[in-house]
């Protein structure tokens, strides 16, 4: 066996094996350098907003495989955002409510029940998002009773005029994130309710993190997860 570099997982001495794999002398992990390079390349593509389809073609990988990696990265983004907010939030944190409806549905009154409602908190120059319960549970009853238009008007009025008491003044960081999120989410051809929370956290992570720092953070989270 030949000694080479250091283990991606624990940074100790790494050995080349005859089958092309490498093995750590301490943690005993055995892996392919090509696979590690591939994961790092996917992390870079994800951080650069390269969609899964394009990344799969560039790296000659199956779309399904790349999509699984991207979903893993989004989960890591969510964990990181939660950790950062808990570490750095302050007593004067401000927040505001935001209602997101896909542009193609904004003229449909019943689409209000398919909207995504979330709170956006600001702490320093960063934001933290908290998804609120879906209105979908009320859709069937309101439509059955022909009350969807009444509800739409009242809810729209509420969203235009109400302000959560906690916010004391116009918060530019929050509004900047809303504009960022609108541009970010329209880059995808529809996002399911199941996956929406993770796309929201991806946007939060990217908004809060400088482009050059994103790959470093995700590599650390991917290869050195906290148990």
Does the pLDDT value for residue 47 go beyond 60?
yes
Q: Is the pLDDT of residue 65 over 90?
A: yes
State the pLDDT at residue 164. Answer: 43
SS3 state of residue 125:
coil
| Count of alpha carbons within 13 angstroms of residue 60, beta-carbon side | 0
Strand partners, 30: 23
pLDDT digits (tens, 9 = 90+) for 123-164: 888 999 998 877 665 555 555 555 555 555 555 554 544 444
pLDDT of residue 151: 55
Residues near 196 by Cβ (< 8 Å), separated by ≥ 6? Answer: 116, 131
Q: Convert the pLDDT of each residue in 92-105 to its tens digit.
A: 778 887 878 777 66
The band of 44, judged by pLDDT with boundaries at 50, 70 and 90, is: very high
- Closest-CA residue to 66 (of 44, 48, 42, 37): 42
Instruction: Quote the CA–CA distance of 218 and 73 in Å, as a whole number.
Output: 7
What is the per-residue pLDDT for 27?
A: 86
pLDDT of residue 180 exceeding 90: yes
Chain-wide mean pLDDT for the chain? 82
Cα maximum dimension of the chain: 75
Domain spans, the chain: 1-31, 89-210
């Amino acid at each position: 066996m030949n000694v080479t570099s250091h283990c991606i997982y624990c940074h100790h001495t790494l050995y080349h094996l005859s089958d092309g794999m490498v093995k750590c002398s301490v943690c005993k992990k055995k892996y392919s350098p090509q696979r590690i390079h591939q994961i790092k390349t996917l992390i870079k593509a994800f951080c650069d907003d390269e969609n899964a389809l394009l990344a799969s073609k560039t790296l000659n990988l199956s779309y399904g495989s790349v999509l699984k990696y991207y979903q893993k990265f989004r989960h890591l983004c969510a964990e990181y955002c939660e950790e950062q907010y808990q570490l750095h939030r302050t007593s004067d944190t401000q927040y505001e409510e935001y209602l997101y409806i896909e542009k193609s549905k904004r003229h449909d009154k019943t689409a209000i029940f398919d909207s995504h409602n979330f709170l956006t908190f600001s702490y320093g120059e960063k934001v933290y998002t908290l998804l609120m319960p879906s209105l979908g549970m009320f859709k069937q009853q309101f439509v059955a009773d022909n009350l969807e238009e009444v509800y739409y008007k009242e809810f729209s009025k509420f969203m235009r005029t109400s302000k959560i008491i906690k916010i004391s003044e116009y918060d530019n960081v929050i509004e900047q994130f809303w504009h960022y999120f609108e541009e970010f989410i329209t880059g995808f051809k529809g996002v399911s309710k199941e996956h929406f929370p993770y796309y929201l956290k991806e946007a939060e992570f990217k908004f809060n993190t400088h482009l050059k720092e994103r790959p470093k953070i995700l590599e650390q989270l991917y290869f050195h997860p906290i148990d």
